A and B are shown apart, each in its own frame.
Chain A
Amino acid sequence: MTITEQAPNALGYSQFSVGGFTFSRDEYFVTVEWPTGNHQIAVDHWLRCVQRDVAWGFFYGIVNFDSVIGTMNHYGTVDMFAGRFNEAYRRAEVDYNETFGHEELLDCFKAMLSDWTNEGYDPFAAPLETGTAFGPSSGNNDDAVTRRRVVADRMVGVPGDEPLRSDESGFPVNRAFSDVEQAEPVIEAAPGYEGDVCSFNLFAYLSRSDVTWNPSVVSACKESLYCPTTEEFTLPVIHGNDRVEWFVQLSDEIQWDVEDRDTGAKRARVIMKAGDVAAMPADIRHTGYSPKRAMLLVWENGSPRIPEMIAKGEAPVHPVDF
């Protein structure tokens, strides 16, 4: 399988092909074509989705860009699909699925992000904080689309681990969190224990996040990963779970639409306010809405046992039985 990049069109954008899929963009839309159909998505939405898929390494389970297009992670290989989780497409037999090596599809998406993201547009940013994605090709924003994802080994702030954020390191307090207390905890470490007595202000750290809907690991209790993130506007993707996922609302409010993972039938709305805890079952897909920038703790289990449990049907579908 090869990725092909065609010469730029009249607007300056390259066209990309991988397997049976072809991707092209114009001033407003991305067009996806596959052997049995085609589909269009607004380019700002497309870039926000591809950006998350790249940053998360295709994440856990399914990343639906909308009700037609998406990817499904098999942790080594990844499916790109059209209409696979859409009953009408399946019934009409115009759905399509193709499996790629993880790096192969990732490389295609990375090249697309670089070529199709114009100067001044940041797919990670809230709409009020970035320029336009539309129009003819105009420069790039590679610094933004290749941001390194924070992954703490033990905890942010532990010597040798991920650093704290500050004005000096290029992370000013976000406009929506200007009232968040910035004082750090008082640490009294005995000589020789400076690397063990560690604490940091997580809320201040999050108030300085320059991205939205992008969980990053701030602490790891073995395979239990705290992946907080700041959320504003909408989660661009519709995340289809393959395992139970937990949310802790740290501040403000997010509302979630929850649908059946395979059919898209509505199952519930989940309204989360500060201090609320909720699980997302393993057989749903969800998307979120955050009218004001909010702090959300996404709690994940990164155990390498889970993909095998999923394959064998042994992974729990529901968080707890009671």
Chain B
Amino acid sequence: MTEYTTVFGSLDDYAKGGVQIVDDDPKYYAFSNIFEVASQAAPYEKVAVGKNLEYVLEVIRAEGTSEWRATPHDEFALVMDGTVRIELVDPATELVDAGSGGSMTLEDRPEGAAMGAVTAQRGHMTMLPAGKAYRMHCDGVGVVLLQTIEGPDTVYRWADICQTF
């Protein structure tokens, strides 16, 4: 019976593919690599690697402890590398307009009940529920792919991260 090896990427070990152009512009494919983007990002910077109207995919370099953030809608954090602990708080008062998009930075831990925490490793997807607050922590360096909506802290640097020729 054939033995297979599943290849996942990591900050320390990834191989990048690419667009081989026949008759097109590589920029139309917005081709990037999550680990390469994270390797060049500041801790907890939210760098968009995908955008579809108002929706974005953000790469987050998890390193140390993040600020507290409040989200008006469900977000989903998929750990692509490392071990990331996510703490959740149920704010005593509404912190974000439910109609807004993307999460917003909080100055400190909000008043409210501790909901619990998740310790997630590669491949684990965690829901960051609407109306709640969260922060992340990673002892080393991790990578998170966040399914969310563009917000004031979404960073766009397509020309730096995407294949252009």
Contacts and interface: CB of A to CB of B under 8 A. Distances in A.
Q: Do A and B come from one complex?
A: yes
Interface of A: 154-155, 158, 175-181, 183-190, 193, 196-204, 207, 218-224, 226, 244, 246, 248-253, 258, 265-281, 292-293, 299-301, 303, 316, 318-320, 322
Interface string B119-156: 11111111101001000000000000101110000001
Contact of B116 (A181, A188, A200, A221): A188
Q: What 9 A-B pairs have minimum CB-CB distances, sorted nearest first? A: A203-B123, A275-B9, A271-B17, A322-B158, A224-B55, A274-B9, A199-B126, A186-B119, A189-B116
B29 A279 contact: yes
Interface of B: 1-9, 14-24, 26-36, 49-53, 55, 57, 73-76, 78, 80, 86, 88, 90, 113-127, 129, 132, 145, 147-149, 156, 158-159, 162
B115 A276 contact: no
Contact of B6 (A252, A266, A275, A316): A252
A68 B162 CA distance: 34
A174 to B, nearest CB: 9
A283 B121 CA distance: 37
Contact of A281 (B17, B28, B49): B28
B62 to A, nearest CB: 14
B115 A190 contact: yes
A208 to B, nearest CB: 12
Nearest to B24: A267
Contacts of B159: 322
B126 to A, nearest CB: 4
Contacts of A250: 8
Contact of A193 (B4, B115, B123): B115
B30 A155 contact: no
B7 to A, nearest CB: 5
